[in-house]
Structure 1
Amino acid sequence: MTAVRTIPVRGGVKSLAWDGNDLVDLVGGGRRWAPDPDGDEGLGPLHLGVWSVPERRWLHRSPLERPTGTLLARGGQVLALYGHPRLLDAATGAVLAEWPEAELPEKDLCFGVTHVPSPVAALSPDGTRLAVARPDAVAVIDLPPHP
């Protein structure tokens, strides 16, 4: 029998990605909510959070300056694919690098009715390169070294 576990996100989820075997990186949705009576604030709108599945708690929750769209995780970092690829620190939400010349669709919802296509992207197995589909080609981006 399989177990179903939940993560307290009361404002909706914009995007999420596994970051290793035990961590999930999530971006909170756009709705506001009242705090949980138990004191857990959950994940706020336009906040990046890192949830530990075995510990059942947030390790980090940080506000973001702009939407992320689709996420790809890279061990403590996430690639945000909204408008163009950006590499973010998963703990702080800080932008570590970005590539505005690799323009992508601005899709910020993981589900629902939308006429904007989802970006098609792949992270190399060793985490050193990102490939993103463009209308006329595939852009291959060499990522900064991972600490």
Structure 2
Amino acid sequence: MGSPDGAAGAASGVLNTIRQIGTVFGSAAIGAIVQNRLAASIHDEASTRAGELPDDVRGSFLTALHDAAAGGREVGAGRNGTSVHAPTGTPPDLADRFAHAATSAFDHGVVHAMRLTLVLPIAVIAIGAAACLLVRRPGAGGTIAGEAPRPVELGTSA
């Protein structure tokens, strides 16, 4: 009903090509947004968490998390900011606070980045759903509303 009988294979090929291209562009767009939002969110969370640390380690904390976010490190399965370490010679209790602040900044930064990143796929799905409402449906006899029915020759099937 969507394409003439002889063009069904071509229509299928075009549909699959468009689907593949959409997948590539969609994945690239989401990846770019994730990287951008992740770097910004981790930086913001690091600035917030740095207030919990003494002045003597605050600068190294901000530098370590900024470098991790900007370089794309600490991102992926099993990563949680724990490889950001306090400067050498830091007392153990302060080193634990440093590590906890780094983990907290990373965890909260990822959550904030993902919330904003999900806006794109939700918008695309909403636009697709709205576009489905605009598709013309076949009426009685398999014709699109407003079109004349196709003549059928004797001895052939419709």
For this structure pair, what is the TM-score category when the shorter chain's length is used for normalisation?
A: under 0.3
Q: As a proportion of its length, which structure holds more strand?
A: 1
TM-score normalised according to structure 1 size: 0.23
- Relative contact order higher in (CA < 8 Å, ≥ 6 apart): 2
Q: As a proportion of its length, which structure holds more helix?
A: 2
